[in-house]
């Protein structure tokens, strides 16, 4: 009998479908060994040796595995194909392997299919100690930061706080973005457009005056490089009106007509990061939710391994996708040669594949029936993205028409486009509406129906959401595929950030923690430094560095900072003053942030200890009971800290909505 050990019962059940009666499959239920939470558990004086212990809650599982291991002719370690999986396999071997090391074989596979399992069993390998060392280094590194920095936060900010190496950098991004928004000064500017009627209305935009462009865009380096500020030479209403007045006196002709064929190529299949970003944008899923769904899809055999930063597809996967395209859409949708995508990451880990369907005969509808609606939605994204990645380009005919005033002082422009061939868009329909311009002729005179000027305001940089924060972390080399979702969920659970309308806002506590860390641990709570540490861990995984010297160097810097911070001043967490008066002493009440969220207390605390729950009203009567019972819409939170709008009369009234716009729509529509 051969014993196969995986992490989860779902994975065990799926693998069991492909193996015969000669195999017994057991689940470890995750890690069997870990660092105890009660102490540092890292021997800093003896090579940073991690003091792993068997997880007490897993006693029965360990006992069961030991019994099965004694009876087995061989023990096959089939945990996930990454550093975490390698570490779990290493600990299993350590627990079961006394005197039986020859029994163990390590197999890896990136999809749970019959072919993949059989192929892995034919090609077992030894444990990869480099991957184990890289995971050990990360675990030790994060334990040192968490257990050395957290007590300092207790002393200098507030009891009960904690710090994390990568999470603190993510918090810093969010706080600094919020400060950019607070500093931002809105500026007004104007645009001018002209309406021309030729069968239909065509909108021409004024783009130049005396050869100078009306608008320019300045890219601000706010970490993601995506934010642009519009600059306009029409910076006053008076100037815009003067230009409109002058334009009304002019004659215009078609000065140039440019037609060109453009091609849009499909995106590569998903990586962990791009999957989380797309699921956030299209489905509104948090990174954590996406990873939970993807984990189940992988374990049930629907998709390939979901923790990856590679866009490469295996030869067999490419062949299957091309066959599917040919069968479903026809020969013309298939490129002459397979598409090959190159990973942009400096070190794509452990040669994983991109995320794709394991078998293409399982449609999103089938997934929905077996697992549920959200699984179907995510699988649909993965399925369409993978299929479209092996399809032909979309072909678009673009037309640009320029109109000049006779003396060439003013230039207008109109753009049109027509989809000539949908290509990969056949599989991933997108909002690409045809905008066919009328048939214009060179030097044709035209008379505008109306010339308009429109007022605009520059907009501040947007707050981060799941998609933009994960994208920025990946771009800056912070964290790795397996950690993106937990980075966000951890600082959210600590109440360092909150979600407002799907975007992250730092709390007063989060700002205080960030400011303290930036001032006193600037080299550690730093983007380049954290990215460099990720590179060092990758070097350990690739046998280019030893892990102990990496930790030793880091700990030396951390120890020095810890020594210097002893004399640092205690940080005051900002409170928000209200107009309410304390019924106990007559002072003003303020809003404070506690371990379980916001509450109201006396501004003289600890002199006066009065407190009461904080109910943030939004000035709207409850649509369900407000007219009859005076219920007010208030901001509330789920058990996991997510904000929503509910009725002040809860539980008598159970009205709830995620967005303020939804409530306003209900009221407007009766």
Q: Catalytic residue positions? A: 305
Other CB atoms within 10 A of residue 424 CB: 26
For every residue of 428-495, which 3-state class applies, written as one string? CCCCCCCECCCCCCCCCEECCCEEEEEEEECCCCCCCCHHHHHHHHHHCCCCCCCCHHHHHHHHHHCC
| Residue 548 host element (H or E) | helix 547-564
Strands 104-106 and 394-405 come out as unpaired
Q: List CB contacts of 13: < 8 A, sequence separation 6 or more.
A: none
| Residue-wise burial string across 119-131, b where 16 or more C-beta atoms lie within 10 A, e elsewhere | ebbeeeeebbebb
Q: Is the Cβ–Cβ distance between 299 and 8 less than 8 Å? A: yes
d(CA 89, CA 77): 6
Is the Cβ–Cβ distance between 648 and 634 less than 8 Å? yes
How many other C-beta atoms lie within 10 A of the C-beta of residue 251? 10
Q: How far is CA 450 from CA 193, 201, 245, 406, 669, in A?
A: 8, 11, 12, 18, 35
Calpha distance 280→463 (Å, rounded): 14
Judge residue 179's burial from the number of C-beta atoms within 10 Å of its C-beta, 0-12 exposed, 13-18 middle, 19 or more buried.
Answer: exposed
**Cβ atoms of 330 and 292 closer than 8 Å:** no
Helices 165-183 and 484-493, packing angle to 10 deg: 70
């Amino acid at each position: 009998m051969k014993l196969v050990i995986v992490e989860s019962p779902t994975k065990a059940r799926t693998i069991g479908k492909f193996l015969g009666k000669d195999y017994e499959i057991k689940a470890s239920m995750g890690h069997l060994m870990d660092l105890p939470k009660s102490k540092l558990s890292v021997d800093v004086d003896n090579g940073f040796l991690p003091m792993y212990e068997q997880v007490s809650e897993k006693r029965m599982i360990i006992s069961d595995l030991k019994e099965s291991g004694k009876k087995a002719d061989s023990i096959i370690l089939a945990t996930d194909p990454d550093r975490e999986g390698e570490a779990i396999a290493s600990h299993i071997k350590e627990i079961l392997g006394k005197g039986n090391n020859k029994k163990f074989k390590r197999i890896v596979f990136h999809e749970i299919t019959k072919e993949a399992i059989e192929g892995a069993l034919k090609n077992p390998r030894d444990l990869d100690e480099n991957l184990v060392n890289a995971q050990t280094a990360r675990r030790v590194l994060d334990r040192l930061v968490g257990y050395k920095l957290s007590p300092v936060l207790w002393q200098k900010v507030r009891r009960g706080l904690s710090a994390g190496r990568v999470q603190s950098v993510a918090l810093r991004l969010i706080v600094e973005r919020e400060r950019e928004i607070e500093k931002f000064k809105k500026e007004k500017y104007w645009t001018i457009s002209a309406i021309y009627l030729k069968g239909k209305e065509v909108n021409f935009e004024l783009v130049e005056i005396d050869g100078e462009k009306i608008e320019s865009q300045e890219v601000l380096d706010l970490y993601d490089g995506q934010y642009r500020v519009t600059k306009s030479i029409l910076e006053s209403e008076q100037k815009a009106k003067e230009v409109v007045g002058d334009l009304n006196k002019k004659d215009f002709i078609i000065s140039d007509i440019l037609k060109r064929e453009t091609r849009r190529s499909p995106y590569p299949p998903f990586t962990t990061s791009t999957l989380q970003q797309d699921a956030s944008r299209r489905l509104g899923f948090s990174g954590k939710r996406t990873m939970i769904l993807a984990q189940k899809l992988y374990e049930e055999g629907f998709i390939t391994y979901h923790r990856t930063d590679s866009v490469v597809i295996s030869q067999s996967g490419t062949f299957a996708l091309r066959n599917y395209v040919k069968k479903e859409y026809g020969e013309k949708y298939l490129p002459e040669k397979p598409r090959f995508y190159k990973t942009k990451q400096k070190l794509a880990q452990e040669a994983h594949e991109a995320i794709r369907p394991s078998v293409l005969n399982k449609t999103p509808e089938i997934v929905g029936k077996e697992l549920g609606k959200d699984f179907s939605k995510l699988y649909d994204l993965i399925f369409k993205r993978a299929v479209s990645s092996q399809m032909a380009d979309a072909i678009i005919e673009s037309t640009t028409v320029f109109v000049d005033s006779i003396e060439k002082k003013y230039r207008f422009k109109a753009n049109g486009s027509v989809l000539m061939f949908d290509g990969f868009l056949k599989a991933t329909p997108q909002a690409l509406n045809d905008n066919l311009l009328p048939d214009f002729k060179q030097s044709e005179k035209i008379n505008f129906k109306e010339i308009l000027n429109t007022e605009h305001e520059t907009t501040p940089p947007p707050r981060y959401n799941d998609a933009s924060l994960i994208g920025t972390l990946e771009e800056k080399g912070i964290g790795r595929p397996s950690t993106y979702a937990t980075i966000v969920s951890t600082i959210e659970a600590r109440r360092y950030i909150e979600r407002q309308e799907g975007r992250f806002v730092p709390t007063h506590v989060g700002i205080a923690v960030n400011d303290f860390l930036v001032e006193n641990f600037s080299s550690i709570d730093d983007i380049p430094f954290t990215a460099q540490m990720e590179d060092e861990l990758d070097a350990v995984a690739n046998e280019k560095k030893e892990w102990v010297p990496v930790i030793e160097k880091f700990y030396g810097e951390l120890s020095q900072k810890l020594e210097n911070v002893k004399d640092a001043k205690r940080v005051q967490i900002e409170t928000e003053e209200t107009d309410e008066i304390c019924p106990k002493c007559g002072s003003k009440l303020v809003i404070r942030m506690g371990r379980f969220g916001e509450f109201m207390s006396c501004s003289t605390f600890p002199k006066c200890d009065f407190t009461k729950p904080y109910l943030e009203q939004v000035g709207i009567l409850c649509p369900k009971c407000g007219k009859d019972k005076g219920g007010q819409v208030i901001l509330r939170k789920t058990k996991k800290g997510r904000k929503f709008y509910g009725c002040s009369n809860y539980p008598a009234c159970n009205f709830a909505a995620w967005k303020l716009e939804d409530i306003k729509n209900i009221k407007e529509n009766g």
